[in-house]
Amino acid sequence: MRHLVVHRAGPGATVQDLGRTGHLAQGLSRGGALDRLAIHEGAVLLGQSPQLAAVEMIGAGIQCEVTEPVRIALTGAPMEVHAGDRTLAWQASHLLLPGVRLTIGRPLAGRVGYLHFGGGIEVPLVLGGRATHLTAGLGAALAPGDVLPIGTDTGGRIGLGLAVADRFSGGILRLMPSIQTALFPAELRARFKAGTFRPDPRSNRMALRLMGEREGFGLSEGLSIVSEGIAPGDVQITGDGVPVILLAECQTTGGYPRIASVLPADLPKAVQTPAKAKLTFSFLSWKEACTAQEAADKAQAALPRRIKPLIRSPETIADLLRYRLVDGAVTGQEDEI
């Protein structure tokens, strides 16, 4: 079997897929990739199922190699990336050969990058998924020396790129009403809508805390609300009045009131917002939210049509050697790509 060998990993590097469903009643939240769109983009670049697992990297990349030739794709927050000493294009697919170190550094924009493999990471299925769920204690962050199996690759194309809209610099998040929105006085909702926030750098896979507004948004009766089901995207106002956006690994129930929910289509932008960027909110009606989400779902379904061969000039071709421009000059074993 083909394997991924991890040499170095940032603290936020984990195996992720689209998460586990069907366990809410047992208190296990879906988990899975923070930026679900990035998982779909990787699947489209490699021409494979979005159910396959990839490596998620929050804030810092990994250094790794593979034991056999493997197609890879890079999506999400663009990061510094080298295969050996060659720079690779982000939001693109490549061939990685054994013996070549893939070094992924810090994000150049955004927060969370993804490294996908043809055939996907095939760590054992636990409760129907491969995703590391740190809160639940399923799996653990990647560490030097980890060797992970890579599945059978059914595709073949590489050198493809996928242009994506910028979701890596903050901006406006669209909100829709939640079950407790009406509990918040109009004045408080207006102040929330007018607020400018920035992500707390201490945010994790459970929640994104929003800093930046001096005055809190707490309800006086906030602490007496009975614990109810909660879901990723919900914007809770915690006891100290700070809004937090619940993310993939949130708990399944919570007693803090929810002022709104982030439109699922805008969650990738929320998780990708770097600590220095700003977030503001717009409120949609339920109907507007349905229409907006439908449009986003359509755009996601149309991703395969946006795939294009990487534009190449000799200076930027990372996989020049593969083309055997000078036949006989290489064995094909020297480098990846």
Partner 1 sequence: MGLDALLVSFANRFTEAPNRAALAFRAELECLNWAEVAETAPTLVSVVVRLVAGAQSSADVSDRLRALLQSRDWYDAPLPDGRRHWRIPTVFGGSLAPGLDSAAQAAGVDTATAITEWSQVRVRVLTIGFAPGQPYLGVLPPRWDIPRQTSLTPRVPQGALVQAVRQFVLFSRPSPTGWRHVGQTAFRSFRPGATVAFPLRPGDEISFVPTDRDHIERLLADPDGSDGGAEAEQVG
| Site residues, partner 1 (CB under 8 A) | 21-28, 126-127, 135-138, 176, 178-179, 223-224, 226-229, 231, 233-234, 251-254, 261, 263-264, 289-290, 293-294
Q: Specify the residue, 118 or 129, whose C-beta has the smaller distance to partner 1.
A: 129
- Which residue in the block uniquely carries the two structure tokens 């992924």? 104
CA separation for the pair 283, 173 (Å, rounded) = 9
- The arrangement of strands across the sheet holding 86-87 comes to 86-87, 79-83, 102-107, 62-66, 2-9, 147-150
Q: Ramachandran region of residue 222, left (φ > 0), alpha (ψ -120 to 50) or beta?
A: alpha
CB 66 within 8 A of CB 98: yes
Find the shortest distance in angstroms from Cβ 275 to partner 1. 23
Q: Compute the least distance from the CB of residue 103 to partner 1, in Å.
A: 33
Closer to partner 1 by Cβ: residue 15 or 263: 263
- In whole angstroms, how close is the CB of 274 to partner 1 at the nearest point? 25
Q: 282 vs 316, which CB is nearer to partner 1?
A: 282
Which is closer to partner 1, CB of 63 or CB of 251?
Answer: 251
- Closest by alpha carbon to 264, among 286, 296, 240? 296
Helices and strands: H and E segment counts in the chain:
4, 22
The DSSP output letter for 334 is S
CB of 90 to partner 1, least distance (A): 30
Nearer to partner 1, 45 or 208 (CB): 208
Least spacing, CB of residue 203 vs partner 1, in Å: 16
Instruction: In angstroms, give the least distance from the CB of 220 to partner 1.
Output: 15
Which among 284, 282, 302 has a CA at the least distance from the CA of 293?
284
State the residue for tokens 């829709």: 176
User: Minimum Å distance from CB 253 to partner 1?
Assistant: 4
CA distance 141 to 9: 8
- The full DSSP string for 87-145 is E--SSEEEEE-TT--EEEEEESSSSEEEEEETT-B-PPPBTTB---BTTTTBS----TT
CB-nearer residue toward partner 1: 160 or 260: 260
Closer to partner 1 by CB, 138 or 188: give it: 138
Q: Which is nearer to partner 1, 73 or 242 (CB)?
A: 242
Q: Residue 232 Cβ, how far from partner 1 at the closest point, in Å?
A: 8
Q: Which two tokens stand for residue 203?
A: 């945010």
